[in-house]
Amino acid sequence: MQAFLRKEIMPRVFLTCVKSDKFKSGVYTAELVTALRRGEASLNAVLPKILRRGTVSASDMDAVAERLDMLYGARLEPLVRKIGERQLVGLAAFFADDAFVPEKSLLERVIALTGEMLVAPATSGGRLRADYVESERDKLIDEIHSVVNERQQYADMQLLAHMCEGEAYAVPVRGTEAEAAKITVFTATKRYRELLSSAEVELFYCGSAPFERVERASAEALASLPRASSAPLPPTQVLTEPKRGDTRTFTETLEVAQGKLSIGYRLGDAMLAPNYPALAVMNAVFGGCVTSKLFRNVREKLSLCYYASSRIDKHKGVMLVSSGIEPANYEKAVAAITGQLEAVRSGDFTDQELESAKKALINAYRSCDDSLYALESWYVDNARLGLNWTPDDMAAFVSLVTKKDVTDACRGVKADAIYFLKGGDAVEE
Partner 1 sequence: MRSKDYPAIGERVYTETLENGLRVLVVPKPGYKKAFALFATDYGGADRRFRLAGEWRDTPAGVAHFLEHKMFDMKDGRDALSVLSENGASPNAFTSSDMTAYHFSSTDGFWDNLDTLLRFVSEPYFTEKSVEKEQGIIGQEIRMTEDEPDSVQYYGLLKLLYAENPIRDSVAGTVESIAEITTQTLYDCHKVFYNPSNMVLCVAGDVEPERVAEAAVRLLPTRYGEKPERDYGNDKGLRPFKKRTSVTMPVGLPMFLAGVRAPKAEGEALLRQSVTAELALKVLMGASSPLYLSLYEKGLVNAGFSAEFDNAAGVSHCLFGGETASPDAVLDAIREELSRVAASGCDEKLLERVKRASLGASLRGLDSLEAICVGMARGVFRGYDAFAEIPLAALTSADEVNAFIAESLRPENMAVHMIEKGA
Q: Which is nearer to partner 1, 78 or 84 (CB)?
A: 78
Q: Which is nearer to partner 1, 128 or 239 (CB)?
A: 128
Instruction: By CB under 8 A, tell whether 250 contacts partner 1.
Output: no
Residues 32 and 203: their CA atoms lie apart, in Å, by: 9
Q: Which stretch binds partner 1 (CB under 8 A): 210-218, 253-261, 275-283, 336-344?
A: 253-261
Is the Cβ–Cβ distance between 203 and 13 less than 8 Å?
Answer: yes
Shortest Å distance, C-beta 243 to partner 1: 29
Q: Which is nearer to partner 1, 138 or 269 (CB)?
A: 138
Q: Which long-range contacts (CB under 8 A, 24 or more apart) does 269-275 make?
A: 269/240, 269/411, 269/412, 270/317, 270/408, 270/409, 270/410, 270/411, 270/412, 270/413, 271/238, 271/240, 271/317, 272/240, 274/314, 274/317, 275/405, 275/408, 275/409
Shortest Å distance, C-beta 99 to partner 1: 8
Residue 144, H or E segment: helix 130-146
Sign of CA dihedral 215, 220, 221, 224: positive
Among 3, 56, 61, 400, binds partner 1 (CB under 8 A): 61
Among 3, 56, 70, 223, binds partner 1 (CB under 8 A): 70
Is the Cβ–Cβ distance between 257 and 328 less than 8 Å?
Answer: no
Q: Which stretch binds partner 1 (CB under 8 A): 92-100, 184-192, 382-390, 408-416?
A: 92-100
Instruction: By CB under 8 A, tell whether 337 contacts partner 1.
Output: no
Cβ contacts of 165 within 8 Å, gap of 6 or more: 243
Among candidates 353, 345, 324, 321, which has minimal Cα distance to 418? 321
Within positions 339 to 358, which residues make up the interface with partner 1, using CB under 8 A? 352, 355-356
Determine how β-strand 13-19 pairs with β-strand 200-207: parallel
Shortest Å distance, C-beta 115 to partner 1: 19
Among 254, 270, 341, 413, binds partner 1 (CB under 8 A): 254
Shortest Å distance, C-beta 93 to partner 1: 11
Within positions 270 to 329, which residues make up the interface with partner 1, using CB under 8 A? 289-291, 296, 299-300, 303-307, 324-326
Residues 296 and 360: their CA atoms lie apart, in Å, by: 15
Within positions 142 to 201, which residues make up the interface with partner 1, using CB under 8 A? 142-149, 151
Q: Which is nearer to partner 1, 21 or 246 (CB)?
A: 21
Instruction: By CB under 8 A, tell whether 408 contacts partner 1.
Output: no
Shortest Å distance, C-beta 214 to partner 1: 18
**Cβ neighbourhood burial of 87 (10 Å; 0-12, 13-18, 19+):** buried
Per-residue contact flags (x/-) with partner 1 for residues 14 to 33, judged by CB under 8 A: ------xxxxxx--------
Q: Which is nearer to partner 1, 201 or 280 (CB)?
A: 280
Q: Tell me how far apart the terminal alpha carbons of the chain are, to the nearest angstrom.
A: 53
